[in-house]
Structure 1
Amino acid sequence: MFLTIFTCFVLLLIICDYFYKTRRNAQFSAAGIVSPRPWPILGNVPHVFGNDTANVFSMLNRFKARWGKVWHMWFFFEDILFICDARHFESLLSSQELIKKDVIYDVLRYWLGDGLLLSTGGKWRARRKVITPTFHFKILEQFVEIFDQQSIVMVEKLKARADGKTAVDIFPVVGLAALDIISESAMGVKIDAQRNPRFPYAKALTDAADIIATRVMKPHQSYDLTFYLSAPRKALKLRKCIKIMHSFTDNVIEERRRTLERTIADGSYKAINLEMNDIGAKQRMAFLDVLLQSTVHGKPLSNSDIREEVDTFMFEGHDTTTSGISFTCYLIARHPAVQCKLFQEILDVLGKDKDRRVTMRELHALKYLECVIKEGLRLYPPVPIIGRITTREAMINGQIVPANCNLSVLIYAALRDPNYFVNPDDFVPERFDVESCAEIDPFAYVPFSAGPRNCIGQKFALLEMKSAISKLLRHYELLPLGESVRPIMNLVMRSATGVNVGLRPRVY
């Protein structure tokens, strides 16, 4: 009896699945979009069997070569429209309606809650308005001191391996420096991860990011139930890591809130006033401090609201800048003419005292370094793929896309599109100088996304990258040692072979 009922249920499910997918595929076909024939229930999952973080780019490039710059696939009962064409990016990324992240991001929700990355609608708009002042230039200016101090520690940690012969995987080294920078900037606390990489919060963040990245690349682990059933040890480890991070953040928030309440009670409280030039070293404002003093619709943010945003900032501001700095250093090491020009600019702007602290004005003056970083981000974008979902029928570049369709925007593919970039695989920083940059389609170059949901911290990230890279070049010549990079998708762009450079102390 049970077997009969079960068989009937499966047959009914297959029939419903067939008609639903057939109808949806017909809609995409009418829009001129290719949809490879799906299997019952599984959809196109067999197309990605064996896929992991190491081969996702080659797999997507094969699909692009076979089906063009826009194609549609099924993963069980979810469908995804893959988009490589920058012509589609403008209508998609600039839309005020297409702001909801796709289902892939749900794997982050237990960690990040409903913070700025994952929220949508009115909540997202209200939070974005609250958080935007955090990146006011007067607050960014005080972060430059943090960038400089932690970059000094990074340079010191590399000294023992700077013999001109040893290949150094710079990614984990930069990662710890970036974690020190973001923890002090976001929470106002020093965790000293560079000197103590086993610090519980630092290790928990790294382990959580690795586990989540694997989930994203394996369709059967994208759902919580199947993740717990197929990888129970990783699931438990992930929960433990997130618990450690939440506990740490909660304690910091509580402590900072008590301090704020104490200053209000004793009369020493001083509200944030960006219109007054009174934010300096004596009143350094961390991201957390701004949130504690902010209101939404006249009400202060709760501790859980603040934790969502602090955790989001820690997540987004750690691995992304690590990836950008590391791959840019890799490219500099393998292009000596670029490095020579860069070093001369650094001497011209910062002088020969390699230990002198830099200022925000000086970082802005490093114009060629900015071109180098932008070209590095083009070749190796830290966030190579972003996702959206259509909450209702949408028109994207003249093509009608039905509601509840996941959109996978393949930024990395557009950034190497020969239709927009001459010799797209070559490292040519000069393409971003003032004259050449004006000719680049703004929606073909979107390493920080674009439109209303662009990266709110991109100015912070560029300043941090300039500070770290200029500090490295003041102390070391970067050499082309070690294996070449083999890009992999791991929440951010990483390399299966490490991001290797050699280091030779500069004498001048």
Structure 2
Amino acid sequence: MFWFLLFFVAFLCLLHLLLNYNERARLIRKLPGPEDSFILGNGPAVMLSSVEVMKLARKLAQENSGIYRLWMYPVAAVNIYNPEDIETIVSSMKYNEKSQIYRLLKPWLGDGLLLSKGQKWQQRRKILTPTFHFNILKQFCEVISENTQRFVENLKEVSGRPIDVVPVISEFTLNSICETAMGTNLTEYDKTAASAYKEAIHNLGYIFYQRFIKIYYFFDFIFNLSPLSKKQDGYLKTVHSFTKKVIDERSAYIEKHGIKIPDENDDDDTYVYKSKKKTAMLDVLLSARKEGHISDTGVQEEVDTFMFEGHDTTAGGLTYCFMLLANHKEAQDKILEELKEILGDDKRPITMEDLPKMKYLERCIKESLRLFPPVHFISRSLNETVTLSNYKIPAGTFCHIHIYDLHRRADLFKNPTSFDPDRFLPENSVGRHPYAYIPFSAGPRNCIGQKFAMMEMKIAVAEVLREFELQPVTRPSDIRMIADAVFRNEGPVEVTFVKRQ
């Protein structure tokens, strides 16, 4: 028995040495990080609840200077939140491959723009760039303005009492992206199919969130045995069937009527539509498919990707913008004053030409995106050795870029937890590192839809404030961040919308 025990202890010690003192482990463990445990490295330190793991991340960010590591064989992760290291990773194509975390979305999004890499990503990006030509954005502005009016009418029904803004804003942004991305108005579509689609989208979000926070679901063979896997298959069938039907219908429409896709040489005078039907993102993809640049599968992947990215992240941005404005009446008053200068007392819809004039509103949105970035972190896979903060980071390491912690660095933003839109005045931005503020990521792989998102947020906030005064319910101090790819609060985010007299 003694010899068996001695052998067992010796085996564990040898295993510890092999796992935690190999060349790769020695390099990564030179970085600061949580206390290491025997054999399991940092594994036990991060096996926490969704809220607690986010608290730990914030604690580690405060204790370290822009970089720390997590190690649990064979997974190595370097976490960075200083602009110099972030610039090294995102400013070129060298480290543009997304990490394995994103594979959880692959059953839904396939090799769409969010998940693809290398030449395929470059080709897809090139195909989709015309989607955000000024003239198409101008049409999107009209669509979003119309959808915002429906959103405002819905808010009138709950005026004067606290509501959780998350579901109502999410429905607004989902309707907007459907109309702009697919040319489909969900309110006019087959109600049963549209309702099932919207429900499936939300349920898929829940499943991916569960896989994100429950480590054992990260492994496919375990997840595939769970009840969630069967539910996911059903939701995916609903989503993909719906988007395929829309693609087929839009394809038949274009085949019959034709449509003009703008190029970089088009301007307002030369851009002429072949039909009164507004151009959708889908039209750009269908045009590329006709020319043989993308397959049927590729078209569906990109539509599904835009549906996810285009509604969930913008909904998050609007949620916390409304919450912050409700807690800062002086900001609401300044926005309203600015809107009156631009629009007067006219109740006309907001146009594309109005948006650049909304400079204070834009600063408020930027400040809300600084404090509560919808995409609070991004993750890359380092395919070669790189030096970050004078540490040699081995190839094969995950690199997590913590945008939330970057945006709250006191050396980059004075009084970082306070809401101060004027920090984005041109004179107050002089000297700030170009990678200190990256709510839409940065570099070649930045968010292709950031102009669209800002346009939608500006219109929504402006139109809501024209009709309502926002009163606080949830405070910024009430927010308890949970582990998810998109910034989410543990509970509801409540605001009271009071109709203006």
Same fold (TM over 0.5): yes
Deviation at 1:441, TM superposition (A): 1.9
Structure 2 Cα separation of the partners of residues 14 and 77 of structure 1: 17
The correspondence for 1:287, drawn from 267, 281, 285, is 281
Amino acid at match of 1:272: I
Do the aligned partners of residues 256 and 195 (structure 1) sit closer, same or farther apart at CA in structure 2, a change above 3 Å counting? Answer: closer
Structure 2 Cα separation of the partners of residues 270 and 170 of structure 1: 37
Amino acid at match of 1:156: E
Do the aligned partners of residues 16 and 271 (structure 1) sit closer, same or farther apart at CA in structure 2, a change above 3 Å counting? Answer: farther
Deviation at 1:46, TM superposition (A): 1.1
The correspondence for 2:85, drawn from 81, 84, 88, is 88
The correspondence of residues 403-422 of structure 1 with structure 2, limited to 5 A, is 403-422=395-414
Do the aligned partners of residues 76 and 25 (structure 1) sit closer, same or farther apart at CA in structure 2, a change above 3 Å counting? Answer: closer
1:22 aligns with 2:21: yes
1:191 aligns with 2:180: no
Instruction: Give the length in aligned residue pairs.
Output: 485
Per mean C-alpha deviation after superposition, the further-off stretch among 416-425 and 191-200 is 191-200
Structure 2 Cα separation of the partners of residues 279 and 432 of structure 1: 38
Q: Tell me which residue corresponds to 1:272.
A: 261
Q: Tell me which residue corresponds to 1:115.
A: 112
Amino acid at match of 2:164: D
Deviation at 1:270, TM superposition (A): 4.1
Q: Tell me which residue corresponds to 2:313.
A: 320
The correspondence for 2:130, drawn from 121, 129, 133, is 133
Structure 2 Cα separation of the partners of residues 306 and 130 of structure 1: 11
Q: Is the 8 A contact 1:150 1:180 kept in 2?
A: yes
Secondary structure of 1:168's aligned partner: strand
The correspondence for 1:480, drawn from 463, 468, 472, is 472
Amino acid at match of 1:28: I
Secondary structure of 2:157's aligned partner: helix
The correspondence for 1:45, drawn from 43, 46, 51, is 43
The correspondence for 2:361, drawn from 340, 350, 369, is 369
Structure 1 Cα separation of the partners of residues 259 and 499 of structure 2: 45
Do the aligned partners of residues 194 and 305 (structure 1) sit closer, same or farther apart at CA in structure 2, a change above 3 Å counting? Answer: closer
Deviation at 1:336, TM superposition (A): 1.1
Amino acid at match of 1:363: L
The correspondence of residues 297-446 of structure 1 with structure 2, limited to 5 A, is 299-354=292-347, 356-446=348-438
Deviation at 1:214, TM superposition (A): 2.2
Q: Is the 8 A contact 1:44 1:76 kept in 2?
A: no
Deviation at 1:400, TM superposition (A): 2.3
Deviation at 1:85, TM superposition (A): 2.1
Deviation at 1:18, TM superposition (A): 4.5
Amino acid at match of 2:306: F
Deviation at 1:69, TM superposition (A): 2.9
Structure 1 Cα separation of the partners of residues 400 and 274 of structure 2: 42
Deviation at 1:357, TM superposition (A): 1.2
Give CA deviations for 1:167-199 in whole Å, capped at 9, x if unaligned. Answer: 111111111000000011111111129997980
1:503 aligns with 2:472: no
Give CA deviations for 1:368-411 in whole Å, capped at 9, x if unaligned. Answer: 00000000000000000110001122233543211111111111
Give CA deviations for 1:232-284 in whole Å, capped at 9, x if unaligned. Answer: 12222122111111111111112222333334xxxxx3442331322498241
Q: Structure 1-normalised TM-score?
A: 0.89
Structure 2 Cα separation of the partners of residues 288 and 33 of structure 1: 47
Q: Tell me which residue corresponds to 2:4.
A: none
Structure 1 Cα separation of the partners of residues 85 and 334 of structure 2: 37
The correspondence for 1:56, drawn from 53, 58, 75, is 53
Amino acid at match of 1:217: I
Amino acid at match of 2:364: V
Amino acid at match of 1:135: F
Do the aligned partners of residues 400 and 474 (structure 1) sit closer, same or farther apart at CA in structure 2, a change above 3 Å counting? Answer: same
Per mean C-alpha deviation after superposition, the further-off stretch among 317-326 and 214-223 is 214-223
Structure 2 Cα separation of the partners of residues 434 and 69 of structure 1: 26
Q: Tell me which residue corresponds to 1:3.
A: none
The correspondence for 1:176, drawn from 158, 171, 176, is 171
Secondary structure of 2:423's aligned partner: helix
Amino acid at match of 1:179: L
Q: Is the 8 A contact 2:403 2:438 kept in 1?
A: yes
Secondary structure of 2:276's aligned partner: helix
Q: Is the 8 A contact 2:47 2:53 kept in 1?
A: no
Q: Tell me which residue corresponds to 2:250.
A: 256
Deviation at 1:501, TM superposition (A): 1.1
The correspondence for 1:224, drawn from 202, 220, 231, is 220
Report sequence identity in percent: 36
Q: Tell me which residue corresponds to 1:459.
A: 451
Per mean C-alpha deviation after superposition, the further-off stretch among 126-135 and 211-220 is 211-220
Q: Tell me which residue corresponds to 2:3.
A: none
Amino acid at match of 1:82: N
Structure 2 Cα separation of the partners of residues 57 and 443 of structure 1: 23
Q: Is the 8 A contact 1:210 1:490 kept in 2?
A: no
Structure 1 Cα separation of the partners of residues 189 and 81 of structure 2: 38
Q: Is the 8 A contact 2:183 2:280 kept in 1?
A: yes
Do the aligned partners of residues 357 and 65 (structure 1) sit closer, same or farther apart at CA in structure 2, a change above 3 Å counting? Answer: closer
**Greater than 6 Å deviation, 4+ residue runs:** 11-14, 193-198
Give CA deviations for 1:334-370 in whole Å, capped at 9, x if unaligned. Answer: 111111111100111122233x111111012111000
Do the aligned partners of residues 405 and 372 (structure 1) sit closer, same or farther apart at CA in structure 2, a change above 3 Å counting? Answer: same
Amino acid at match of 1:162: S
Structure 1 Cα separation of the partners of residues 340 and 374 of structure 2: 28
Amino acid at match of 2:481: P
Structure 2 Cα separation of the partners of residues 493 and 156 of structure 1: 27
Do the aligned partners of residues 174 and 97 (structure 1) sit closer, same or farther apart at CA in structure 2, a change above 3 Å counting? Answer: same
Structure 1 Cα separation of the partners of residues 335 and 107 of structure 2: 43
Per mean C-alpha deviation after superposition, the further-off stretch among 170-179 and 430-439 is 430-439
Give CA deviations for 1:188-239 in whole Å, capped at 9, x if unaligned. Answer: 111129997980111111111121022112222212112234xx12222122
- RMSD over aligned Cα atoms: 2.6
Structure 1 Cα separation of the partners of residues 308 and 407 of structure 2: 24
Q: Which runs of 5+ in 2 are unaligned?
A: 1-6
Structure 2 Cα separation of the partners of residues 307 and 13 of structure 1: 50
Do the aligned partners of residues 243 and 479 (structure 1) sit closer, same or farther apart at CA in structure 2, a change above 3 Å counting? Answer: same
Secondary structure of 2:380's aligned partner: strand
Q: Is the 8 A contact 2:34 2:42 kept in 1?
A: no
Amino acid at match of 2:339: I
Q: Structure 2-normalised TM-score?
A: 0.91
Structure 2 Cα separation of the partners of residues 367 and 352 of structure 1: 19
1:167 aligns with 2:162: yes
